[in-house]
Structure formats: structure tokens, C-alpha cells
Amino acid sequence: MRSDNEIKRDVEDEIRWSVDADATDIAVRVTNGTVEIAGFVKRFRDKFDAEASAKRVSGVVGLANEIEVRLPRFDQRPDPDIAHDAAAAIKFWAPAATSIKASVQNGWVASPSGSSRSKTLRTRCAD
């Protein structure tokens, strides 16, 4: 019998290679061989592809698909996309500032959290 950690790793790998969505938007949890996948995708196809990918993994005895489909709107970007871009901007402007994080809610970037001794860095991250 395979361990939950092995199954989780294999399910994450299978989703990463098989689903045409950002695999970081899908979380995997395994308990006694039962897999739960949760997160957000932009298309129904991605939800069903993630489920099929998880079912292909050896050792999976049950599956709960809690993935939510959030259809993109033309006038609004999804929060995970904005959060990804905010993290990339912080990394670009402040590569040494690993403690600075930004959170996104309802399409808006909240004030960054964390600390820095550089006033210039704090100003750039706040912008």
C-alpha cells in the first residue's frame, strides 16, 4: 500500500502535467488514500481534467473534487493572477526582500505586509 505522501506527490505531478491550468491554483490533500482536490480554475474542462488526472494515480481509493470554476470576466482579472503578478513585481523591485508579501481580495492588492530597513524598498512595494 502506498503512503499518503507518495499519492499526494504523484497526484500533484499528474495535475501539473495534464491540466491546462496553473497547477498552483489547485491544492491536493490525501487521507488514507482518499484524495481531495480544491482550488480555482477558469474552465470546466480544467476541473474535469484535474479529476481525471487524480483518478489515474495508483493508490487513490476515493476522490472529492472541490475545485470551483470561476469564469473570467472581460473587465476583471482573477485574484490568483493579480497575486502572481504582485509577487513577481516585489521580487523584481526587491529581490532580497523575501519577507514582503502582498494579498489580493476582490481584484485589489492590499497593502504589502512584512518589513524592510530600506525606505526606498518600502515605498516601491507600497506603490
Positive or negative torsion for Cα 55, 48, 31, 34? negative
Distance CA 80, CA 22 (A): 10
**pTM of the predicted structure, to 2 decimals:** 0.60
Using pLDDT thresholds of 50, 70 and 90, give the confidence band for residue 101: confident
Q: What is the pLDDT of residues 5-43, one digit of tens each?
A: 999 999 999 999 988 878 788 999 999 999 999 999 888
Q: Give strand ranges (E) for 14-56.
A: 26-31, 34-41
For the cut 60, the answer to whether the pLDDT of residue 125 exceeds it is: no
Query: What are the residue ranges of CATH 3.30.1340.30 in the chain?
Result: 4-69
Question: Which top CATH class is 4-69?
Answer: alpha beta
Q: Shortest CA distance to 21 belongs to which of 3, 44, 1?
A: 44
Residue 87: per-residue pLDDT: 81
Give pLDDT tens digits for 54-98: 999 999 999 999 999 887 776 677 788 888 888 888 778 777 666
